[in-house]
A and B are shown apart, each in its own frame.
Chain A
């Protein structure tokens, strides 16, 4: 299928999911509220800590809000586009329903990743974006068009890293039967992306900054808005995005070879 075909297919899936979400309006409102509440929880924690201290790792309150907003923005995008797809992939591999995706005339990874789209998460992308704009305003920053473009690009790299981590954990289902609890691992890991890099010392620095891509996903985009474009930081972000994407796709492909369906 040519690229344009894939794009049209994805758009059709998005349109279908959006219509579906609006058919179940009460559910849509409840789930949008759920995410909104969880974002408020994190915002409240930052506010309470900053009512007792003026900085964390050298970051002031509005700087921290920018970091938090960036981290939420990436996470909401992941939830909106990929979360339920990859979450269900694990379940489908176990049940054998995964066959259905292999039978479709297209790249299996694309088919698996784009089938559903969560409108409730996407509505919270606007809220997270609002937090970023608020923080930028509080800081008195005046980003130009190129700064905004770079920030968006950095957030998309962050999204690619989140996607890879999720795909990697979901692909483990090809080998293990039970993988519940792995989502818990994802959420635990993303907690660290709400912290500035400066607070990581010793072992934590090695693990969360250098080995796992927990800190780079949020810190590099936020820093780009705060202190302008730094080629080395961008190279680091782009490099990790490509590396993690490569690892995740390779693991997925290996798993696919191993997949032997399941009888019904």
Chain B
């Protein structure tokens, strides 16, 4: 069987198993719309009495949060870390050690199929609610933003997955990894720009955040597409993003080989 055909089957199986959870995903996107109304109320109140925060008007800021919400459903890792941890704990990975399939590529393929489903399902309620807030948005139309945004999105998805993969592999060393995952989620939420656009941080802190991987998880592609970064910053960012992906991929591979040495194949 050719490599491509092998992973094509994984992808199709992944699509099917994600569709089983369509109601869970639909509920999650409904909650995220409620969260979006929290964001709109909070920032709407912060803008009262002024038209400009950090060089952006209210419409631009709300667009940022909406874009981030949509992008999140397409690229962010959701419970991949947990699933990988469970695979290790239950001994499910044993079968991958015996078959000609690479666990990283297998999981990555499943990740892409799941994001296709969650992304498509999340778009539905947002498109239905769109007329409610369409006139409060403002999206820039420079063509270069799409040109840079597309690879940035793909690299962000890969970074998200690689971080989740690393956390999942911690299950080789620790019995319970859920606390690590939620702890890191708190850091990712702030430094990924989900609580506030990172450019509102003091200059030095914003600069510092650009050298951390979290910046490239969510903020970077969102900021390119919604007009918060210029072309020079985007070019520099893409390079740093590529470097981080390399580093994270390397760590993932290292942990996998190290972890397998400790692995004692429980169950099966």
Contact = CB atoms under 8 A, between A and B. Distances in A.
Interface of A: 27, 30-31, 33-34, 37-38, 40-42, 44-45, 48-49, 51-53, 55-57, 178, 180-181, 184-185, 188-189, 191-192, 195-196, 198-200, 204
Nearest to B23: A178
Most central of A33, A53, A55, A185 by chain B CB within 10 Å: A53
Interface in B21-40: 24, 27-28, 31, 34-35, 37-38
B189 interface: yes
Contact of B190 (A33, A44, A55): A44
Contact of B186 (A37, A52, A188): A37
Contacts of A44: 190, 195
Contacts of A200: 41
B50 to A, nearest CB: 7
A181 B183 contact: no
13 contacts: A30-B180, A34-B182, A48-B196, A48-B201, A52-B54, A53-B46, A53-B50, A53-B53, A184-B28, A188-B38, A195-B42, A196-B45, A204-B41
B45 A199 contact: yes
A191 B24 contact: no
Q: Is the interface of B mostly helix, strand, loop or mixed?
A: helix
A34 B45 contact: no
B44 interface: yes
B186 A34 contact: yes
A38 B46 CA distance: 22
Contacts of B137: none
Given A30-B179, A41-B190, A53-B50, A48 B28 contact: no
Given A56-B42, A188-B34, A41 B195 contact: yes
A30 B178 CA distance: 10
B186 A181 contact: no
A192 B186 contact: no
Given A30-B179, A41-B186, A181 B41 contact: no
Interface in B184-237: 186-187, 189-190, 195-196, 200-202
Contacts of A27: 176, 179
A34 B179 contact: yes
B24 A33 contact: no
Most central of A40, A49, A189 by chain B CB within 10 Å: A49
B152 to A, nearest CB: 23
Given A41-B189, A45-B195, A188-B35, A52 B183 contact: no
B17 to A, nearest CB: 16
A27 to B, nearest CB: 7
Given A42-B195, A56-B42, 18 more contacts: A37-B183, A38-B182, A41-B190, A45-B195, A45-B196, A52-B54, A53-B46, A53-B47, A53-B50, A53-B53, A56-B45, A180-B24, A181-B31, A191-B35, A195-B41, A195-B42, A199-B42, A204-B41
Nearest to A33: B183
Contact of A38 (B27, B50, B186): B186
B179 A31 contact: yes
A1 to B, nearest CB: 36
A72 B198 CA distance: 24
Most central of B38, B49, B50, B176 by chain A CB within 10 Å: B38
A188 B183 CA distance: 19
Contacts of B196: 45, 48-49
A52 B38 contact: no
Contacts of B42: 49, 56, 195, 199
A200 B38 CA distance: 10
Nearest to B190: A41
A250 B195 CA distance: 38
Interface string B6-27: 0000000000000000001001
A59 B35 CA distance: 22
A103 to B, nearest CB: 30
B44 to A, nearest CB: 7
Contact of B53 (A30, A40, A52, A185): A52
A145 B187 CA distance: 39
Contacts of A185: 31
Given A37-B187, A195-B42, A204-B37, A181 B53 contact: no
